[in-house]
Amino acid sequence: MTSDAEAAPDAAEGREPVLSVRDLKKYYFEQDSFLDSLLRRETQSVKAVDGISFDIQKGETLGLVGESGCGKSTTGETLLRLREATDGAIEFEGDDVLGMDRDELKAFRRRAQIVFQDPFSSLDPRMTIGDILVEPLKIHDLPAEVPSEQSKGEVRREKAKDYLERVGLSAGQIDRYPHEFSGGQRQRIGIARALMLEPEFIVLDEPVSALDVSVQAQVLNLLDDLQDEFGLTYLFIAHDLSVVRHICDRVAVMYLGNIVELGPTDDLFDDPKHPYTQALLDSVPRAAVEEQGRRVEPLPGDVPSPRNPPSGCRFRTRCPQVIPPKDVEIDQSTYREVMDLRDRIESNDLNLDTVWERADDENRSDKPAFKREFRAEFFAQGLSGENEATVERALDALAEDDHDRAAEILRERFASVCEQVRPVLQSGSHPAACHLYEQPERTEMAAEAPADD
Ligand SMILES: Nc1ncnc2c1ncn2[C@@H]1O[C@H](COP(=O)(O)OP(=O)(O)OP(=O)(O)O)[C@@H](O)[C@H]1O
């Protein structure tokens, strides 16, 4: 199966990557039930992350954005080995993260931390803020040495007070409990906890999504300041593009387990290449007066299931720019209707009973009536010539209840490169994994193979 580029897209020049990710996969395998084995059903996996590659440079903030369920949190957690990867490679400052043993992993966890989205559930309500901040130091038995006049406990508590102040709270709040703080303050505590081990790299998993808009900006500014102060590198996960614009140097856009576009933040906002990025940007409210009346077009359809993702480009089932074969002239909305029909035939999601009912023909012999009703249901005006003749033949097959032949007839004429070949991210500073842009030759050769789990 093809996957995102083996060589990751170029990051900022002249800087060493802190983190390198190559062809990373994380599949969740669901428990086989007794019924599954009785019926000899194959175990189905959820392909939450399915072959992603990128680098993060020292001191950089890389944004990772996409709709809910596209695999952002799984990526962040797999990078830190809070979840075990299914395949791929992760290097942190040259060390092989996936090959680390227990001790190496413990040392790695000092250097790479995570801040979670929900400041309400990520802090233990029974612990004081001081205990919460000191806990990571206890786990790692830090500091290794203390001045003779002080105990380890005192040194840890001093550090906790110091870090409370660094995140904009006061040292005097150290003996309070989480419920005594607002959402924004709790997130500051979560950030202080992540900083206590003096990490180099932090995964920020939707760190401001649960906060009021007015508080979001303050926490984002804090994260920016702390990055400068401590020389931190961030992976900033968000579903909201407007949040990443101001904090990220580069942005990776994720859809259904793949990275579909990656580029410097301004380039990506000013010149989005992938139709999915364009659609995401269209759904962001704009401040500019001339844009306020703009019609926001929501993306059609739901995100397909990661258990059975579409072949080829995963966005093709919702894409407004699917590419027809070279010799087929068809407008995009009609092409979408034809493709949707075939998808429904192939996924056994077509109930012909209702069409025959509408045709008012219990004997199922009045084909012209069936086809008339079918067209009224599925197609606006727009078919002509050979396209029309092909659909007519496919409907004839459907009227005979021959779904396979109907799908085959449609596939022969209308199959798109978007469903046959999975596009990959090329190298370069702003690549998009989309057939609208040049794809490497080897990709064209590597037609989508059946799922290999
Ligand atoms: N433990 C799990 N077992 C099975 N499937 C899971 C598990 N955790 C996540 N998934 C599935 O993996 C896919 C990716 O989930 P993930 O939480 O990484 O996405 P996300 O982009 O972070 O979404 P959100 O913004 O909603 O958190 C989803 O389809 C989700 O249902």
pLDDT (tens digit, 9 = 90+) per residue, 155-204? 999 999 999 999 999 999 999 999 999 999 999 999 999 999 999 999 99
Contacts of 247 (CB under 8 A, 6+ apart): 61, 63, 220, 223, 224, 234, 236
Tokens at residue 267, please? Answer: 């380039």
Q: Whose CA is nearest to atom 31 of ligand 1?
A: 69
Q: Which ligand 1 atom is the nearest neighbour of the CA of 305? A: 29
> Do 257 and 314 meet the contact criterion of CB atoms below 8 Å apart?
yes
Per-domain boundaries in the chain: 17-282, 332-415
Distance of CA 28 from the midpoint of ligand 1 (Å): 9
pLDDT of residue 453: 37
Q: How many Cβ atoms sit within 10 Å of the Cβ of residue 7?
A: 12
What would the two tokens of residue 202 be? Answer: 């932090």
Which 8-state DSSP code applies to residue 208? T
DSSP labels, 329-373: ---HHHHHHHHHHHHHHHTT---HHHHHHHTT-TTS--HHHHHHH
User: What average pLDDT does the chain have?
Assistant: 88
User: Any residues with CB less than 8 A from the CB of 316 and at least 6 apart, and which?
Assistant: 310, 322, 339, 416, 418, 419
Contact, 235 vs 56, CB < 8 A? Answer: yes
For residue 206, give the ligand 1 atom closest to its CA. Answer: 25
Secondary structure letter of residue 290 according to DSSP = G
Rounded distance from Cα 301 to ligand 1 centre (Å)? 19
Look at ligand 1, atom 24, and give the residue with the nearest C-alpha.
68
| DSSP symbols for 130-151 | HHHHHHHHHHTT--S---TTS-
Long-range (24+ apart) CB contacts under 8 A made by 138-145 are: 140/106, 140/110, 140/197, 142/197
For residue 51, give every residue at least 6 positions away whose Cβ sits within 8 Å of its Cβ, in sequence order, or none. 1, 2, 3, 4, 23, 24, 25, 88, 257, 258
Mean pLDDT computed over 57-76: 95
Residue pLDDT, tens place only, 296-325: 556 777 788 899 899 999 999 999 999 999
44-55: pLDDT as tens digits? 799 999 999 999
Q: Could you give the 3-state DSSP secondary structure of residue 232?
A: coil
Range of weakest confidence among 239-243, 276-280, 307-311, 447-451: 447-451
Closest CA to 344 of 289, 407, 390, 292: 407
354 Cα: distance to centroid of ligand 1 (angstroms): 36
The pocket around ligand 1, CB under 6 angstroms, is made up of 28, 46, 48, 66, 68-74, 239, 306
Identify the pLDDT of residue 446.
Answer: 46
Atom of ligand 1 nearest to the CA of 73: 22
What is the helix (H) or strand (E) element at residue 202, kind and residue range? Answer: strand 201-205
What distance in Å separates the CA atoms of residue 151 and residue 145, rounded to the nearest whole number?
Answer: 10
Helix (H) or strand (E) holding 246: helix 241-247
Q: Whole-model pTM above 0.80?
A: yes
**Ligand 1 atom at minimal distance to the Cα of residue 254:** 21
Q: Choose which CATH entry (3.40.50.300, 3.40.50.620, 4.10.1240.10, 3.20.20.140) describes domain 17-282.
A: 3.40.50.300
Cα of 306 to ligand 1 centre, how many Å?
9
User: The complex's ipTM?
Assistant: 0.98
User: 261 with 273: CB under 8 angstroms?
Assistant: yes
* Peptide bond between residue 143 and the one before it cis (omega within 30 degrees of 0): yes
From atom 16 of ligand 1, which residue's Cα is the shortest distance away? 71
Ligand 1 pocket mutation, candidates 72, 258, 307, criterion most atoms within 8 A of CB: 72
**Cα dist from 210 to 119, 182, 226, whole Å:** 8, 12, 20
Token pair 């932090």 in the structure block, residue: 202
